[in-house]
Homo-oligomer: A and B are copies of this chain.
Amino acid sequence: MDRYALIVAGGAGRRMGSAIPKQFLELAGKPVLMRTAERFYSFDPSIRIIIVLPRDQFTYWNELIILHSFSLSHSLAEGGPSRFESVRNGLALVEDDSLVAIHDGVRPLVSTTTIENCFEAAATYGNAIPSVNPADSVRLMTGAGNMPLNRQFLRLIQTPQVFNSSLIKRAYATEFNPEFTDDAMVLEKTGEEIRLVEGNRENIKITNPEDLIIAETLFSSVS
Protein backbone atom coordinates (compact mmCIF):
# COMPACT_ATOMS: atom_id res chain seq x y z
CA MET A 1 0.00 0.00 0.00
CA ASP A 2 1.19 3.53 -0.78
CA ARG A 3 2.27 5.55 2.24
CA TYR A 4 1.52 9.19 2.93
CA ALA A 5 2.64 11.56 5.65
CA LEU A 6 0.11 14.35 6.20
CA ILE A 7 1.89 16.92 8.32
CA VAL A 8 -0.37 19.55 9.84
CA ALA A 9 1.18 22.89 10.78
CA GLY A 10 -1.47 25.45 11.54
CA GLY A 11 0.18 27.37 14.35
CA ALA A 12 0.26 31.15 14.32
CA GLY A 13 2.85 31.23 17.10
CA ARG A 14 0.99 33.25 19.72
CA ARG A 15 1.55 30.74 22.51
CA MET A 16 5.30 30.79 21.92
CA GLY A 17 5.32 34.54 22.57
CA SER A 18 7.06 34.83 19.23
CA ALA A 19 6.31 36.59 15.97
CA ILE A 20 7.40 33.46 14.06
CA PRO A 21 4.90 30.57 14.02
CA LYS A 22 6.39 27.71 16.05
CA GLN A 23 6.65 25.34 13.06
CA PHE A 24 9.22 27.74 11.56
CA LEU A 25 11.42 28.19 14.64
CA GLU A 26 14.82 26.60 14.24
CA LEU A 27 15.74 23.24 15.73
CA ALA A 28 19.41 22.35 15.28
CA GLY A 29 19.67 25.00 12.57
CA LYS A 30 16.56 24.18 10.51
CA PRO A 31 12.86 25.02 10.82
CA VAL A 32 10.98 22.54 13.05
CA LEU A 33 8.64 21.66 10.16
CA MET A 34 11.56 20.57 7.97
CA ARG A 35 12.96 18.46 10.81
CA THR A 36 9.54 16.82 11.16
CA ALA A 37 9.26 16.05 7.44
CA GLU A 38 12.79 14.61 7.46
CA ARG A 39 11.72 12.01 10.06
CA PHE A 40 9.23 10.51 7.61
CA TYR A 41 11.73 10.62 4.77
CA SER A 42 14.26 8.78 6.99
CA PHE A 43 11.68 6.10 7.63
CA ASP A 44 10.80 5.69 3.94
CA PRO A 45 12.31 7.84 1.18
CA SER A 46 9.39 6.93 -1.11
CA ILE A 47 6.70 8.20 1.31
CA ARG A 48 4.50 10.96 -0.15
CA ILE A 49 4.68 14.04 2.05
CA ILE A 50 1.80 16.52 2.23
CA ILE A 51 2.26 19.64 4.34
CA VAL A 52 -0.81 21.59 5.45
CA LEU A 53 -0.10 25.26 6.11
CA PRO A 54 -2.21 28.42 6.40
CA ARG A 55 -2.41 30.01 2.93
CA ASP A 56 -0.73 33.20 4.16
CA GLN A 57 2.39 31.20 5.14
CA PHE A 58 2.97 29.63 1.68
CA THR A 59 5.28 32.40 0.49
CA TYR A 60 7.34 32.36 3.66
CA TRP A 61 7.62 28.57 3.48
CA ASN A 62 8.92 28.80 -0.09
CA GLU A 63 11.50 31.35 1.01
CA LEU A 64 12.62 29.00 3.79
CA ILE A 65 12.93 26.15 1.28
CA ILE A 66 15.38 28.21 -0.76
CA LEU A 67 17.21 29.54 2.29
CA HIS A 68 17.79 26.03 3.71
CA SER A 69 18.15 24.25 0.34
CA PHE A 70 15.36 21.93 1.49
CA SER A 71 15.00 19.28 -1.19
CA LEU A 72 12.37 16.84 0.13
CA SER A 73 9.63 16.63 -2.45
CA HIS A 74 6.20 17.40 -0.98
CA SER A 75 2.76 18.83 -1.78
CA LEU A 76 1.20 21.78 -0.01
CA ALA A 77 -2.42 21.88 1.14
CA GLU A 78 -4.21 24.91 2.52
CA GLY A 79 -4.96 24.99 6.24
CA GLY A 80 -8.51 25.69 7.38
CA PRO A 81 -9.85 27.68 10.34
CA SER A 82 -9.62 24.55 12.57
CA ARG A 83 -7.32 21.53 12.70
CA PHE A 84 -10.27 19.38 11.58
CA GLU A 85 -10.64 21.37 8.38
CA SER A 86 -6.88 21.42 7.82
CA VAL A 87 -6.73 17.62 8.00
CA ARG A 88 -9.74 17.32 5.70
CA ASN A 89 -8.06 19.58 3.13
CA GLY A 90 -4.92 17.46 3.30
CA LEU A 91 -6.83 14.18 2.98
CA ALA A 92 -8.27 15.40 -0.33
CA LEU A 93 -4.77 14.82 -1.77
CA VAL A 94 -4.53 11.24 -0.45
CA GLU A 95 -5.57 8.28 -2.62
CA ASP A 96 -7.96 5.62 -1.35
CA ASP A 97 -6.62 2.25 -0.19
CA SER A 98 -3.34 3.72 0.96
CA LEU A 99 -1.95 4.29 4.47
CA VAL A 100 -1.78 7.86 5.76
CA ALA A 101 0.11 9.10 8.82
CA ILE A 102 -1.48 12.28 10.20
CA HIS A 103 1.20 14.05 12.21
CA ASP A 104 1.64 17.30 14.13
CA GLY A 105 4.13 19.56 12.35
CA VAL A 106 5.57 20.49 15.75
CA ARG A 107 6.52 16.93 16.77
CA PRO A 108 9.98 16.68 15.18
CA LEU A 109 11.23 14.09 17.71
CA VAL A 110 9.11 11.15 16.58
CA SER A 111 11.42 8.16 16.13
CA THR A 112 11.50 6.11 12.94
CA THR A 113 10.66 3.12 15.18
CA THR A 114 7.43 4.79 16.27
CA ILE A 115 6.56 5.60 12.64
CA GLU A 116 7.29 2.00 11.67
CA ASN A 117 5.22 0.56 14.56
CA CYS A 118 2.28 2.69 13.46
CA PHE A 119 2.44 1.85 9.75
CA GLU A 120 2.79 -1.86 10.50
CA ALA A 121 -0.16 -2.03 12.88
CA ALA A 122 -2.33 0.17 10.66
CA ALA A 123 -1.71 -2.15 7.69
CA THR A 124 -3.25 -4.96 9.76
CA TYR A 125 -5.90 -3.19 11.84
CA GLY A 126 -6.85 -0.13 9.78
CA ASN A 127 -5.49 2.32 12.34
CA ALA A 128 -2.65 2.69 14.84
CA ILE A 129 -2.19 5.38 17.47
CA PRO A 130 1.15 5.85 19.29
CA SER A 131 0.95 6.26 23.04
CA VAL A 132 3.04 6.13 26.20
CA ASN A 133 2.27 5.51 29.87
CA PRO A 134 2.06 8.60 32.09
CA ALA A 135 5.16 8.94 34.28
CA ASP A 136 3.16 10.59 37.07
CA SER A 137 0.15 9.66 39.18
CA VAL A 138 -3.10 10.87 37.61
CA ARG A 139 -6.29 12.23 39.16
CA LEU A 140 -9.73 12.78 37.69
CA MET A 141 -11.65 15.93 38.63
CA THR A 142 -15.21 15.06 39.53
CA GLY A 143 -18.10 17.37 40.30
CA ALA A 144 -17.54 16.93 44.03
CA GLY A 145 -13.74 16.80 44.16
CA ASN A 146 -11.24 14.42 42.59
CA MET A 147 -10.18 10.78 42.65
CA PRO A 148 -7.09 8.77 41.70
CA LEU A 149 -7.00 6.85 38.43
CA ASN A 150 -4.85 3.75 38.01
CA ARG A 151 -2.16 4.97 35.65
CA GLN A 152 -1.45 1.44 34.42
CA PHE A 153 -4.67 1.78 32.45
CA LEU A 154 -3.93 5.25 31.04
CA ARG A 155 -2.10 6.22 27.88
CA LEU A 156 -0.91 9.65 26.72
CA ILE A 157 -1.64 9.93 23.01
CA GLN A 158 0.86 11.13 20.38
CA THR A 159 1.06 11.34 16.61
CA PRO A 160 1.56 10.07 13.88
CA GLN A 161 -1.88 8.52 13.93
CA VAL A 162 -1.84 6.16 10.95
CA PHE A 163 -4.97 5.07 9.10
CA ASN A 164 -6.23 3.19 6.11
CA SER A 165 -6.95 6.24 3.96
CA SER A 166 -10.39 5.06 2.85
CA LEU A 167 -11.52 4.69 6.47
CA ILE A 168 -10.22 8.06 7.66
CA LYS A 169 -11.48 9.93 4.59
CA ARG A 170 -14.95 8.51 5.16
CA ALA A 171 -14.72 9.49 8.84
CA TYR A 172 -13.69 13.04 7.92
CA ALA A 173 -16.74 13.37 5.67
CA THR A 174 -18.70 13.77 8.92
CA GLU A 175 -19.50 17.13 10.46
CA PHE A 176 -17.06 18.75 12.86
CA ASN A 177 -17.72 17.99 16.50
CA PRO A 178 -15.98 20.13 19.17
CA GLU A 179 -15.32 16.93 21.16
CA PHE A 180 -12.76 15.80 18.57
CA THR A 181 -9.29 16.42 20.02
CA ASP A 182 -7.46 14.12 17.63
CA ASP A 183 -7.93 12.03 14.48
CA ALA A 184 -8.52 8.80 16.44
CA MET A 185 -11.70 10.33 17.88
CA VAL A 186 -12.94 11.22 14.39
CA LEU A 187 -12.45 7.62 13.21
CA GLU A 188 -13.92 6.20 16.42
CA LYS A 189 -17.25 7.97 15.75
CA THR A 190 -17.70 5.70 12.73
CA GLY A 191 -17.63 2.65 15.02
CA GLU A 192 -14.01 1.56 14.40
CA GLU A 193 -11.97 0.33 17.34
CA ILE A 194 -8.80 2.30 18.09
CA ARG A 195 -5.53 0.37 18.13
CA LEU A 196 -2.84 1.70 20.50
CA VAL A 197 0.83 1.03 19.82
CA GLU A 198 4.02 2.08 21.61
CA GLY A 199 5.25 5.62 20.93
CA ASN A 200 8.54 7.20 22.05
CA ARG A 201 8.79 9.39 25.10
CA GLU A 202 10.85 12.10 23.38
CA ASN A 203 8.03 12.67 20.87
CA ILE A 204 6.86 15.89 22.51
CA LYS A 205 4.76 18.62 20.94
CA ILE A 206 6.54 21.96 20.81
CA THR A 207 4.06 24.42 22.31
CA ASN A 208 6.14 26.74 24.46
CA PRO A 209 9.72 28.08 24.56
CA GLU A 210 10.89 25.45 27.11
CA ASP A 211 9.73 22.68 24.76
CA LEU A 212 11.99 24.03 22.03
CA ILE A 213 14.98 24.03 24.40
CA ILE A 214 14.16 20.46 25.45
CA ALA A 215 13.75 19.40 21.81
CA GLU A 216 17.16 20.88 21.01
CA THR A 217 18.64 18.78 23.82
CA LEU A 218 16.92 15.57 22.76
CA PHE A 219 17.34 16.04 19.02
CA SER A 220 20.64 14.21 18.71
CA SER A 221 19.48 11.23 20.81
CA VAL A 222 16.38 10.32 18.74
CA SER A 223 16.80 8.22 15.62
User: A residues bordering B, Cβ < 8 Å?
Assistant: 129, 131, 134-142, 145-146, 148-149, 151, 153-158, 181-182, 184-185, 188, 193-194, 196, 201-202, 204-205, 207, 210, 213-214, 216-218, 221
Contacts and interface: CB of A to CB of B under 8 A. Distances in A.
A195 to B, nearest CB: 9
B181 A154 contact: no
Contacts of A184: 137, 139, 148
B148 A196 contact: no
Contacts of A154: 138-141, 149
A23 B142 CA distance: 35
B210 A221 contact: yes
Contacts of A146: 155, 194, 196
A187 to B, nearest CB: 11
A8 to B, nearest CB: 15
- Copies of this chain present in the complex amount to 2
A145 B210 contact: no
B194 A145 contact: yes
B139 A157 contact: yes
Contacts of A214: 214, 217-218
A210 B218 contact: yes
Given A141-B154, A148-B184, A202-B210, 6 more contacts: A135-B204, A138-B154, A139-B154, A149-B154, A213-B221, A214-B217
B210 A201 contact: yes
A140 B139 CA distance: 13
Contacts of A218: 210, 213-214
A116 B112 CA distance: 42
